[in-house]
Amino acid sequence: MSELSAIQKNMLKEIAGYEEIPEGAYNLRSNGALAGRRTTANIDIQTKTDKPGIDIIIKPGTKNERVDIPVILTETGLDDLVYNDFYIGEGADVLIVAGCGIHNAGGLKSEHDGIHAFHVGKNAKVKYVENHYGEGEGTGEKILNPTTEVEIDEGGYMEMETSQIRGVDSTYRKTKAKLGDRAILVIREKILTHGHQKATTDFLVDLDGVDSGAHVISRSVATEDSYQKYISCVNGNNRCNGHTECDAILMDNGQVDAVPMVNAHTTEARLIHEAAIGKIAGEQLDKLMTLGLTEKEAEEEIVNGFLR
Amino acid sequence: MLELKNVTFAVQTEFGEKKIIDNISLKIDEKFVAFTGPNGGGKSTLAKLIMGLYKPTSGKIYFDGTDITEMSITDRSKLGIGYAFQAPVKFKGITVRDLISIASGKKLNVTEICSYLSQVGLCAREYVDREVNNELSGGELKRIEIATAMAKSPKLTLFDEPEAGIDLWSFNNLISVFEKLEEQTNGSILIISHQERILNMAQRVIVITSGKVSQDGPKDEILPGLLSANVCKTLADNM
Ligand SMILES: Nc1ncnc2c1ncn2[C@@H]1O[C@H](COP(=O)(O)OP(=O)(O)OP(=O)(O)O)[C@@H](O)[C@H]1O
Ligand SMILES: [Mg+2]
């Protein structure tokens, strides 16, 4: 792998919390091209031949391994589209860390659209962490439109932790999932928008399998003149448990629309939806101010805790 | 240390203006003062006026000679006033560690946080990284609220019914915690309470009824009357 620039290192730090890629399998994509790859005995990464993107193949039974697949865009005016397919073998237990950082110093729009498909094998367990981050002094827009499609086989488990804190001008995040018998999906999403940013997140979960379960938990903060939309649709097609929660804080002129849908297609489905949208509670600010914080500091403390 | 001059706090209701605090004047220099009185009498409102959560409709509040009537909550806190709420506030994501660190004004290590928590009888380590939210029981929240007020160690601390919701064993400990606090502090402790044992620790007891001071004096003068006649009288009045 070629030496990373300071900007690239900073992007890595923002999206993955490190400057050097840790041990294990990885694939680094920079400005639309492959910039480094490592495979292991259990984890193979192959470049797709029919379209841009990679296949990540994790052998059945692989335990305690991780794959990192960061994407960095530092050139202005780049429009990057990739298809990544993850095959997680039966009984495997792995961590996948993805993320996209855009540093747009120019006046043109930079866009990365990642289309991720997860095939989670029988009894496999996967944790997927994805951070999105944008920066740059340029006026060019930073756009990220990730699509995630998940299929979980019998007894499989997937946990998705996604976050987009600041810097992304426009995002349309689509997540679709189909769950088999006893499969479980947990999604935790965090979004903070500011300026004139727009973010839409759209979940569609089909609980097809008997005793399948999904928990979709979204926490968002819309500040300044930004706008967010939360759409979730959970279909209970079998004996199952579905739970969605949309919790949003509004600040300044921020706006949030929530469109929750829970559809029970059998009497055995148990579906719950919770939504709470509003300003920071006055008593929370008051309490922190009695401890000596200014109103501004108290707000920051509350937002940081909320999005932690 | 604290002086209230003709403090009134009125709210608009459908029946017109209601004085929740009605022209109260008080001077407090004692180390340990207890407020008591019937439910809805105005004790918590008085505490909120002192902390700055409410601003008086009329009247003045002085702290160490400074007029704090128009001061923000933050500035009063910085001057050295603290308030442990009757109903602790819940958060999402803010942990016990965060609250106690904010209160003490510096980053504390686990051992330091634990020392505050064990004072209020919480098995410390388990609680340090718990979120201050609905998953904590009422009594746990209350104890964290007290530990937070202690970590701030202000010159004047208002404790609003610290005993409420706290089990018996912990109540005994709570009493000794307040005894210790009284020894250590060079400021004042103002406790709002309905508990005889807490009132008994005070040098001075002030009774607030219908927004007014109905009795005020040394504990030995006020308590005996409160414990016998007044209770029966209040009960009889309510019948
Ligand atoms: N913001 C408000 N608006 C309207 N009425 C209020 C407000 N705050 C308090 N009150 C009323 O003022 C009265 C005094 O309330 P306060 O909470 O101060 O009583 P308290 O003495 O602390 O009672 P308790 O012993 O039950 O805690 C009550 O009748 C209450 O309903
Ligand atoms: Mg009260």
The DSSP string of A218-246 is: EEEEE-TT-EEEEEEEEEE-SSEEEEEEE
CATH number at residue B119: 3.40.50.300
Give residue A118's pLDDT.
98
pLDDT of B238 above 80? no
Residue A137 counted as domain residue: yes
% of chain B surpassing 70 pLDDT? 95
Return the DSSP state at A4. Answer: P
The pLDDT tens digits for B11-47 are: 999 889 999 999 999 999 999 999 999 999 999 999 9
B33 touches chain A (CB under 8 A): no
Which two tokens mark B159? Answer: 């404790």
ipTM of the complex: 0.92
In a domain, residue A113? The reply is yes
Chain A, nearest residue to B97 by Cα: A305
Counted domains in chain A: 1
Query: In which element (H, E) is residue B43 found?
Result: helix B43-51
Q: How far apart are the first and last CA of chain A?
A: 33
- Range of lowest pLDDT (A217-221, B52-56, B128-132, B173-177): B173-177
pLDDT above 90 covers a percentage of chain B that reads 64
Crossing angle between the packed helical segments B96-104 and B138-152, to the nearest 10 degrees? 20
B236, pLDDT greater than 60:
no
Domain extent for A215: 6-306
Tell me, yes or no, whether A85 lies in a domain.
yes
Stated pTM of the model: 0.87
What was the pLDDT predicted at A20? 79
Residue A1 within a domain: no
Token duo for residue B56 = 């008086």
Task: Check B94 against A302: CB less than 8 A apart.
Answer: yes
CA of residue B45 to ligand 2 center, whole Å? 7
- Residue A270 tokens, joined: 């148990």
Number of domains into which chain B is organized: 1
Ligand 1 residue neighbourhood (C-beta within 6 Å): B 11, 20, 39-45, 86
Residue whose entry in the numeric block shows the structure tokens 């928008």: A193
Residues of B in contact with A307 (CB under 8 A): 93
Q: Is residue A286 part of a domain?
A: yes
Structural domain containing residue B74: 2-238
Q: Please compute the mean of the pLDDT values over residues B160-172 and round it to a whole number.
A: 83
CA–centroid distance, A235 to ligand 1, in Å, is: 47
pLDDT value for B229: 55
With contacts defined as CB-CB under 8 Å, which chain A residues touch B91? 284, 302, 305
- Provide the residue type at B214 as one letter: S
Looking at the CA of B208, name the nearest ligand.
1
Structural domain includes residue A198: yes
Q: Residue-wise pLDDT tens for chain A (308 aa)?
A: 456 788 888 888 888 888 777 889 999 998 888 989 999 999 999 999 999 999 999 999 999 999 999 998 888 888 888 999 999 999 999 999 998 888 888 888 888 899 999 999 999 999 999 988 888 888 888 899 999 999 999 999 999 999 998 889 999 999 999 999 999 999 999 999 999 999 999 999 999 999 999 999 999 999 999 999 999 999 999 999 999 999 999 999 999 999 999 999 999 999 999 989 999 999 999 999 999 999 999 999 999 999 98
